[in-house]
Amino acid sequence: MITTTAEALAASLPDSSALDLPHGLTVDDALRIAEAVASTLAESTRHVYGHGWRQWERWCSARQTSALPASPAMICAYLTERASDGALVPTLDLAIGAISYAHRSRGLDDPTTVEAVRQVRRGLRRIVGAAPRRQARPLDTNDIRQILGPIDRTTAKGARDAAIILLGFASALRRGELAALDLTDVQPKPGGLLLHVRRSKTDQEAIGQVVAVAHGQRAETDPIAALDGWFAQRGHDPGPLFTSMRNKTVTIERLSGNAIARMLRNRAEHAGLPAERITPHSLRAGHATTAAVAGVSLDRIAAQTRHKRLSTLLERYIRPAQALEFTSSRDLGL
C-alpha cells in the first residue's frame, strides 16, 4: 500500500518533477491512482523488475552514465557484458523488461525498442542460446513414492510436507499458487476436491480458476488423504493452507514459495535422489510428462495445467516424455 504523497506522485504522475499536487488533485486521488497503476503488475513481477532495475542502476553508476533516461548504446553494452559474464537469455530479457517498464511508467520513450538494441538481443540469442541450460527435472510417480518413503507423517512437519508434495504433483499447481492457497480455497467433493486458485501467472486480473484433484489409487499416495493428515495437525482454522513451523509447532504464518522449494529439495536429497535440478516446478512438469506417458490426451493435460499455449505444453513436456516411444531408431535393426 502506497502511503505518502511523494510515492503516489512518483508512481501515478511520472511527468511531475515536483511534489506539488496538480490543481484539483487531492492526496487521496494520487494514492488511489498510484495503487491502481501499481496493480497492473503482479507482485512477483514488480519484485523481479525492481531487482533488475537496481542492477542496471548500479552498472550505470559504475560507468558514470545515466540510468534514466537510458542510452540505447549503453543498454547494448550492458547486455553484452552481462552475457559475457554468463547471464542467460531469460536473465537478459528480465533486464530489458525492467528498463523498459521504468521508462514507460514515467512517460519516457522506451530505449529498448531501438533497432540497435533489438539486433543485439537477437544476436545474443544466437550466441548464448534461448533455452534455459538447467530445466527442472520432472518427477514421476516412482520418484514421488521414493521421496515420500522416509517422511514421518506422524509429525506435523512430515504431514505438511507429504501433503504439499502430493497435492503439488496431483494438481500441477505452480509454486506461487500452492503457497497462496487458503483453507477456504479447498472445496471437498465426493470424488476428491476442488482448489480455487484466486490469482495465477495466466490470470493476473484475479478472475479465478478451479483445479480438480481426484482421490489417489493407493492410500500412501492419495493427495486427499495426505491433506487430511495435515489438517489433523493444522486444524481447520481460517488462514493459509500451508504454514511454517517454529520449534516443531504449527504457526499461522504462510509458508513461502522459497520454503517449499527448499523443503522439496531436502526431501528429495534425503530420499537418495539427485536434487540439484529438483524444484517445485518438478511436480508440475512431472504431472504433465507422467500423464502424457500414461496416454492422457493433450487437451486433458492442458485443462489441468492451464497452459494457454498448447505449443509450450507440447514442446516442453509432452514430446520429450514420448520421445523414446516414437523414435524411429527402434526400427533400424541395431
DSSP result, 314-331: IIIIIHHHHHHHH-GGGG
The C-alpha angle 305, 307, 311, rounded to 5 degrees, equals 125
Tens digits of pLDDT across the chain (334 residues): 444 444 444 444 444 433 456 677 787 877 787 777 766 777 778 888 889 999 999 999 999 999 999 999 999 999 999 988 888 888 899 999 999 999 988 889 999 999 999 999 999 988 877 555 567 889 999 999 999 999 999 999 999 999 999 999 999 999 989 999 999 999 999 999 999 998 765 555 556 789 999 999 999 999 999 999 999 999 999 999 999 999 889 999 999 998 999 999 999 999 999 988 899 999 999 998 898 888 888 888 888 888 777 776 777 666 666 666 666 666 677 7
Report pLDDT for 206. 55
Where along the chain do the CATH 1.10.150.130 domains lie? 5-128
pLDDT for 223: 96
Give me the CATH code for the 141-279 domain, please.
1.10.443.10
Within the chain, which residue ranges are assigned CATH 1.10.443.10? 141-279
Please identify which residue in the block is written with the cell numbers 520432472: 138
Pairing relationship of beta strands 192-197 and 209-214 according to DSSP bridges? antiparallel
CATH code for the domain defined by 5-128? 1.10.150.130
SS3 content of the chain, % helix, strand, coil (to 5): 55, 10, 35
CB 56 within 8 A of CB 100: no
